[in-house]
Amino acid sequence: MKHLISCKQYDNHEQLDGFFSRVEEANKIRYREGIRLPFGHVAKDKIMATLFYEPSTRTRFSFETAMHKLGGNVISSDSAGQFSSHAKGESLEDTIQVVSQYADVIVLRHPEKGAAQRAADVQGSIIINAGDGDGEHPTQALLDLYTIKKRFNKIDGMRVALIGDLAHSRTIHSLVYLLGLYKNVEILLASPKEFSLPEQLISHLFEKRVRFAPWYDLRKMLLEGRPDVIYLTRLQKERIPPAMLINEPEWSKFSFGNDELELVKEDAIIMHPLPRLKELATCVDKDKRAVYLNEQVRCGLEIRIGLLCSFFKDTTL
Ligand code: NCD
């Protein structure tokens, strides 16, 4: 795999399971004679460019932290839409060709679906898609799946509830592709009707024979569906025409707080890619089932360390 653009690039779960084992191995803290060793120099003399045309906290910081831990260097534009030559009218293709002369890997976030593929088509550096509009966000899905795998020690047979703006959430789109590679996974889709999963993903679920069902009532879904994983997402306001935003009361039916928490299984986990808005109340944070501010974030760093090791072909992996 030269680039990571879409979760459709994975065609079986063995690839993912193998990758997750290598991620665990790459993140093992090593000691020699009682002294904690750094992660090594996998990325020594390598440069990563984080080229972000949209805001980010976790994705950019965790990629940059991963690169630093691996002994590499980072060049960064966190507001590329405003501060790169894009503002002067430069095309994405030209920018990628130029940045490829400086950096070995480009982590790209862009508001347009398909932008990461366009960047990869330029034939420059390694491209990692860090979110392309309402398309995909493959590294988030890898870390989400890894979080589930670490907690339950399996993915097969899991009941996963995907809640919120299923139409525009790129993290959900990528996660759906990955979940479809496992056996007997059941996906519960909870959203207002007009924010349902796009047709292309529904067809994919049919094709992969994944059991799934839409729910238009969150509490009923929690009570009757008994999911193991509750995965919440925010309304992607920046991707929605203003006319669709007026239905706030309908939207509030899909928010999660203390009352919903009571309906959740004791051993379930509650996930969110963050940032959260009103759909996930802060009172849930202290619950032992909530992993979005701790475990899930740590897994994000681990996955990105593992990914960079794979791209830089670390022989210890
Ligand atoms: C997500 C994204 O950018 O798609 N955030 C993230 O990377 N963790 C989710 C979101 O913005 O809602």
Residue labelled with tokens 């039916």: 253
Catalytic site includes residue 304: no
> What is the Cα–Cα distance from 273 to 291, expressed in whole angstroms?
10
φ, ψ of residue 93 in degrees (nearest 5)? -60, -45
> What is the Cα–Cα distance from 168 to 233, expressed in whole angstroms?
10
Catalytic site includes residue 226: no
The DSSP line for 72-107 is: -EEEEETTHHHHSGGGGT--HHHHHHHHTTT-SEEE
Catalytic site includes residue 88: yes
- Kindly give the distance from the C-alpha atom of residue 234 to the centroid of ligand 1, in angstroms, as a whole number: 9
Average pLDDT over residues 243-256: 81
> What is the model's pTM?
0.95
> What is the Cα–Cα distance from 79 to 86, expressed in whole angstroms?
10
pLDDT at 252: 84
- Of the pLDDT bands very low, low, confident and very high (cuts 50, 70, 90), residue 226 is very high
Q: Is the dihedral of CA 298, 303, 306, 307 positive or negative?
A: negative
Catalytic one of 28, 32, 36, 88:
88
- Kindly give the distance from the C-alpha atom of residue 128 to the centroid of ligand 1, in angstroms, as a whole number: 15
pLDDT at 33: 73
Order of strands across the sheet that contains 73-77:
73-77, 47-52, 105-110, 126-132
Q: For ligand 1, which residues put their CB under 6 angstroms from it?
A: 58-59, 131, 137, 140, 170-171, 233-234, 273-274
CA angle centred on 128, ends 183 and 110, rounded to 5°: 110
In ligand 1, which atom is closest to the CA atom of 233? 12
- Kindly give the distance from the C-alpha atom of residue 115 to the centroid of ligand 1, in angstroms, as a whole number: 16
Lowest mean pLDDT of 16-30, 55-69, 110-124, 257-271, name the range: 16-30
Question: Which alpha helices (DSSP H) does the chain contain, by range?
Answer: 13-26, 58-69, 80-83, 92-99, 115-121, 138-152, 170-179, 199-207, 218-220, 248-252, 258-261, 295-311
Catalytic one of 22, 58, 208, 289:
58
- Kindly give the distance from the C-alpha atom of residue 59 to the centroid of ligand 1, in angstroms, as a whole number: 8
Catalytic one of 3, 46, 59, 118:
59
Residue labelled with tokens 């899930």: 296
Four-point Cα dihedral 208, 174, 181, 28, nearest 10: 180
* Contact assessment for residue 205 and residue 186, using Cβ atoms and an 8 Å cutoff: no
* Contact assessment for residue 270 and residue 287, using Cβ atoms and an 8 Å cutoff: yes
Average pLDDT over residues 219-247: 91
Amino acid identity of residue 235, one-letter, is: L
pLDDT value at 25 more than 90:
no
In ligand 1, which atom is closest to the CA atom of 59? 7
* Contact assessment for residue 230 and residue 222, using Cβ atoms and an 8 Å cutoff: yes
Q: How does pLDDT run across 265-317, given as a tens digit for each residue?
A: 999 999 999 999 999 999 999 999 999 999 999 999 999 999 999 998 765 54
